[in-house]
Amino acid sequence: MSRRVVAPIALLAGMGCGEAPLDAVRLPSAAIADNLVAHWDLDDGSGSRARDTSGHGYDGELRGGTWIPDGRFGGGLRFVAGEGITVEAFPNATPNWTVSLWIRLSDEQLAANGETFTTILSTENLGDGGWVVNVDRQLTQPRLVFSYWAPPLTNYIGTERSCVEPGGWHHLAAVVDANVDRVSLYLDGAVTDQATRPSDVPPGDSTLRVGHWNMNGRLFTGDLDDIAVWRRALTAQEVAAVNARSP
Protein backbone atom coordinates (compact mmCIF):
# COMPACT_ATOMS: atom_id res chain seq x y z
CA MET A 1 0.00 0.00 0.00
CA SER A 2 1.39 3.34 -0.99
CA ARG A 3 2.02 6.01 1.59
CA ARG A 4 0.24 9.27 1.10
CA VAL A 5 1.31 12.66 2.36
CA VAL A 6 -1.24 15.45 2.39
CA ALA A 7 -0.70 19.13 2.79
CA PRO A 8 -0.86 20.45 6.34
CA ILE A 9 -4.10 19.73 8.07
CA ALA A 10 -6.05 18.51 5.10
CA LEU A 11 -9.28 16.80 6.04
CA LEU A 12 -12.41 16.61 3.97
CA ALA A 13 -14.15 14.02 1.94
CA GLY A 14 -17.07 13.85 -0.36
CA MET A 15 -20.48 12.96 0.90
CA GLY A 16 -23.45 10.99 -0.40
CA CYS A 17 -27.17 11.59 -0.37
CA GLY A 18 -28.95 12.31 2.85
CA GLU A 19 -31.31 10.09 4.79
CA ALA A 20 -34.14 10.86 7.18
CA PRO A 21 -33.19 11.26 10.84
CA LEU A 22 -33.55 8.20 13.02
CA ASP A 23 -35.94 8.28 15.94
CA ALA A 24 -33.55 7.61 18.81
CA VAL A 25 -29.99 7.00 19.86
CA ARG A 26 -29.31 3.48 21.07
CA LEU A 27 -26.81 2.64 23.76
CA PRO A 28 -23.56 1.12 22.52
CA SER A 29 -23.13 -2.63 22.46
CA ALA A 30 -20.45 -4.10 24.72
CA ALA A 31 -18.12 -4.45 21.74
CA ILE A 32 -18.56 -0.91 20.46
CA ALA A 33 -18.30 0.50 24.00
CA ASP A 34 -14.90 -1.15 24.52
CA ASN A 35 -12.24 1.54 25.01
CA LEU A 36 -14.68 4.32 24.20
CA VAL A 37 -12.99 7.56 25.29
CA ALA A 38 -15.90 9.95 24.82
CA HIS A 39 -19.30 10.14 23.14
CA TRP A 40 -21.22 13.35 22.57
CA ASP A 41 -24.69 12.42 21.32
CA LEU A 42 -25.58 16.14 21.10
CA ASP A 43 -29.13 15.44 22.20
CA ASP A 44 -28.93 17.94 25.09
CA GLY A 45 -31.33 20.28 23.28
CA SER A 46 -30.43 23.35 25.34
CA GLY A 47 -27.73 24.78 27.55
CA SER A 48 -24.09 25.71 27.11
CA ARG A 49 -22.53 22.25 27.50
CA ALA A 50 -22.34 19.16 25.31
CA ARG A 51 -22.57 16.19 27.67
CA ASP A 52 -20.18 13.26 27.30
CA THR A 53 -22.52 10.27 27.54
CA SER A 54 -19.64 7.77 27.88
CA GLY A 55 -19.49 8.59 31.58
CA HIS A 56 -15.82 9.64 31.40
CA GLY A 57 -16.50 13.29 32.10
CA TYR A 58 -15.30 14.93 28.88
CA ASP A 59 -18.17 17.38 28.71
CA GLY A 60 -17.70 20.12 26.14
CA GLU A 61 -18.26 23.84 26.59
CA LEU A 62 -20.21 25.54 23.81
CA ARG A 63 -19.18 28.86 22.39
CA GLY A 64 -22.33 29.60 20.45
CA GLY A 65 -24.03 27.00 18.29
CA THR A 66 -27.72 26.25 17.86
CA TRP A 67 -29.40 23.09 19.12
CA ILE A 68 -31.41 21.54 16.28
CA PRO A 69 -34.15 18.88 16.52
CA ASP A 70 -33.35 17.09 13.25
CA GLY A 71 -29.93 15.58 13.93
CA ARG A 72 -28.98 12.21 12.53
CA PHE A 73 -30.06 10.60 15.81
CA GLY A 74 -32.45 12.84 17.71
CA GLY A 75 -30.95 16.32 18.11
CA GLY A 76 -27.73 17.87 16.89
CA LEU A 77 -25.80 21.14 16.74
CA ARG A 78 -25.57 23.77 14.03
CA PHE A 79 -22.53 26.02 13.87
CA VAL A 80 -21.71 29.17 11.98
CA ALA A 81 -18.18 30.53 11.72
CA GLY A 82 -16.85 31.45 15.15
CA GLU A 83 -18.97 28.92 17.07
CA GLY A 84 -17.89 25.53 18.37
CA ILE A 85 -17.12 23.28 21.34
CA THR A 86 -14.03 23.00 23.53
CA VAL A 87 -13.21 19.92 25.62
CA GLU A 88 -10.44 20.53 28.15
CA ALA A 89 -7.85 17.95 29.27
CA PHE A 90 -8.63 15.59 26.40
CA PRO A 91 -6.36 12.52 26.05
CA ASN A 92 -3.69 12.30 23.39
CA ALA A 93 -4.20 9.75 20.65
CA THR A 94 -2.97 6.23 21.37
CA PRO A 95 -1.23 4.10 18.68
CA ASN A 96 -4.66 2.66 17.85
CA TRP A 97 -7.28 5.41 17.61
CA THR A 98 -10.70 5.98 16.05
CA VAL A 99 -12.70 9.17 15.51
CA SER A 100 -16.33 9.11 14.35
CA LEU A 101 -18.88 11.83 13.58
CA TRP A 102 -21.97 12.66 11.57
CA ILE A 103 -21.95 15.77 9.40
CA ARG A 104 -24.48 17.60 7.24
CA LEU A 105 -23.71 20.50 4.92
CA SER A 106 -26.20 22.43 2.83
CA ASP A 107 -25.03 24.18 -0.33
CA GLU A 108 -24.94 27.45 1.60
CA GLN A 109 -22.98 25.94 4.49
CA LEU A 110 -20.46 24.34 2.17
CA ALA A 111 -19.96 27.66 0.39
CA ALA A 112 -19.41 29.35 3.75
CA ASN A 113 -16.48 27.00 4.43
CA GLY A 114 -14.43 28.88 1.90
CA GLU A 115 -10.99 28.93 3.52
CA THR A 116 -8.28 26.60 2.27
CA PHE A 117 -8.85 24.54 5.44
CA THR A 118 -11.88 24.55 7.74
CA THR A 119 -11.60 22.61 10.99
CA ILE A 120 -14.29 20.13 12.05
CA LEU A 121 -12.39 18.43 14.92
CA SER A 122 -8.86 19.16 16.11
CA THR A 123 -6.21 18.55 18.73
CA GLU A 124 -3.59 19.79 16.28
CA ASN A 125 -0.52 21.82 17.08
CA LEU A 126 0.51 23.04 13.65
CA GLY A 127 3.50 21.13 12.29
CA ASP A 128 4.07 19.39 15.60
CA GLY A 129 1.41 16.96 16.82
CA GLY A 130 -2.21 16.04 17.36
CA TRP A 131 -4.79 15.15 14.73
CA VAL A 132 -7.41 17.01 12.73
CA VAL A 133 -10.50 16.53 10.56
CA ASN A 134 -10.86 19.34 8.02
CA VAL A 135 -12.77 20.55 5.03
CA ASP A 136 -9.96 20.99 2.51
CA ARG A 137 -10.25 23.30 -0.51
CA GLN A 138 -6.74 23.01 -1.93
CA LEU A 139 -8.20 21.42 -5.07
CA THR A 140 -11.14 22.35 -7.27
CA GLN A 141 -13.36 19.87 -5.47
CA PRO A 142 -13.65 20.26 -1.67
CA ARG A 143 -12.53 17.24 0.34
CA LEU A 144 -13.00 15.78 3.81
CA VAL A 145 -9.62 14.83 5.23
CA PHE A 146 -8.27 13.18 8.37
CA SER A 147 -4.58 13.94 8.97
CA TYR A 148 -1.85 14.19 11.56
CA TRP A 149 1.77 15.32 11.72
CA ALA A 150 4.11 12.37 11.11
CA PRO A 151 7.66 13.06 12.38
CA PRO A 152 9.32 10.46 10.08
CA LEU A 153 7.92 12.35 7.09
CA THR A 154 8.34 15.85 8.54
CA ASN A 155 4.93 16.37 6.99
CA TYR A 156 1.31 15.40 7.37
CA ILE A 157 -0.10 11.96 6.64
CA GLY A 158 -3.75 11.80 5.77
CA THR A 159 -6.71 10.14 4.11
CA GLU A 160 -9.33 11.93 2.09
CA ARG A 161 -12.74 11.79 0.51
CA SER A 162 -13.37 14.11 -2.42
CA CYS A 163 -16.53 15.22 -4.18
CA VAL A 164 -18.62 16.53 -1.30
CA GLU A 165 -22.33 16.20 -1.95
CA PRO A 166 -24.37 18.55 0.26
CA GLY A 167 -27.84 17.97 1.56
CA GLY A 168 -27.90 14.95 3.88
CA TRP A 169 -26.30 13.42 6.95
CA HIS A 170 -23.12 11.41 6.37
CA HIS A 171 -21.02 9.32 8.70
CA LEU A 172 -17.25 9.93 8.69
CA ALA A 173 -14.84 7.72 10.63
CA ALA A 174 -11.02 7.75 10.73
CA VAL A 175 -9.17 4.70 12.05
CA VAL A 176 -5.45 4.61 12.93
CA ASP A 177 -4.40 0.96 13.24
CA ALA A 178 -0.91 0.22 14.58
CA ASN A 179 -1.37 -3.52 14.14
CA VAL A 180 -1.41 -3.28 10.35
CA ASP A 181 0.27 0.15 10.00
CA ARG A 182 -2.71 1.65 8.24
CA VAL A 183 -4.83 4.79 8.40
CA SER A 184 -8.33 4.34 6.97
CA LEU A 185 -11.09 6.82 6.24
CA TYR A 186 -14.68 5.59 6.04
CA LEU A 187 -17.68 7.37 4.61
CA ASP A 188 -21.14 5.99 5.35
CA GLY A 189 -19.70 2.70 6.57
CA ALA A 190 -17.39 1.97 3.62
CA VAL A 191 -13.65 2.56 3.17
CA THR A 192 -13.09 5.61 1.01
CA ASP A 193 -9.28 5.94 1.35
CA GLN A 194 -6.31 4.30 3.07
CA ALA A 195 -2.66 5.20 3.64
CA THR A 196 0.34 3.53 5.26
CA ARG A 197 0.74 4.61 8.89
CA PRO A 198 4.28 6.04 9.27
CA SER A 199 4.15 6.63 13.04
CA ASP A 200 1.97 7.06 16.09
CA VAL A 201 0.01 10.29 16.31
CA PRO A 202 2.33 12.62 18.28
CA PRO A 203 0.88 14.32 21.36
CA GLY A 204 -1.05 17.44 20.46
CA ASP A 205 -3.11 20.12 22.13
CA SER A 206 -4.68 19.04 25.42
CA THR A 207 -7.92 20.72 24.33
CA LEU A 208 -10.14 19.05 21.76
CA ARG A 209 -11.87 21.66 19.61
CA VAL A 210 -14.99 21.18 17.51
CA GLY A 211 -15.65 23.70 14.73
CA HIS A 212 -12.34 25.56 15.19
CA TRP A 213 -8.67 25.00 16.02
CA ASN A 214 -6.14 26.60 18.39
CA MET A 215 -5.06 29.35 16.00
CA ASN A 216 -6.95 31.99 14.01
CA GLY A 217 -9.31 31.16 11.17
CA ARG A 218 -10.49 27.78 9.87
CA LEU A 219 -13.93 28.34 11.39
CA PHE A 220 -16.55 25.73 10.53
CA THR A 221 -20.12 26.25 9.32
CA GLY A 222 -22.38 23.19 9.28
CA ASP A 223 -24.35 20.62 11.28
CA LEU A 224 -22.80 17.91 13.47
CA ASP A 225 -24.18 15.00 15.46
CA ASP A 226 -23.03 11.99 17.46
CA ILE A 227 -19.27 12.47 17.83
CA ALA A 228 -17.27 9.60 19.38
CA VAL A 229 -13.62 8.72 20.01
CA TRP A 230 -12.08 5.35 20.88
CA ARG A 231 -8.58 4.45 22.08
CA ARG A 232 -8.51 1.47 19.74
CA ALA A 233 -8.87 0.78 16.02
CA LEU A 234 -12.44 -0.13 15.19
CA THR A 235 -12.80 -2.96 12.71
CA ALA A 236 -14.52 -2.47 9.38
CA GLN A 237 -17.51 -4.39 10.76
CA GLU A 238 -17.68 -2.09 13.80
CA VAL A 239 -17.51 1.04 11.66
CA ALA A 240 -20.37 -0.36 9.60
CA ALA A 241 -22.31 -0.98 12.82
CA VAL A 242 -21.70 2.59 13.99
CA ASN A 243 -22.85 3.82 10.61
CA ALA A 244 -26.00 1.73 10.90
CA ARG A 245 -26.88 3.20 14.29
CA SER A 246 -25.42 5.55 16.87
CA PRO A 247 -22.31 4.24 18.72
160/181 Cα distance (integer angstroms): 17
Task: Please tell me which residue, 164 or 56, carries the higher pLDDT value.
Answer: 56
pLDDT tens, position by position, 68-127: 999 999 999 999 999 999 999 999 999 999 999 999 999 999 999 999 999 999 999 999
Note the CATH number of domain 5-17+34-244. 2.60.120.200
Strands (E), the chain: 5-6, 36-40, 49-50, 60-63, 66-68, 76-79, 84-87, 97-104, 117-122, 131-136, 143-150, 155-162, 169-177, 182-187, 190-196, 208-210, 222-230
Q: Taking CA 230 as the corner, what is the angle to CA 228 and CA 235, rounded to the nearest 5 degrees?
A: 105
Show me where the domains of the chain are located.
5-17+34-244
The predicted pLDDT at position 27 comes to 37
d(CA 146, CA 157): 8
Confidence of residue 244 (pLDDT cuts 50, 70, 90): confident
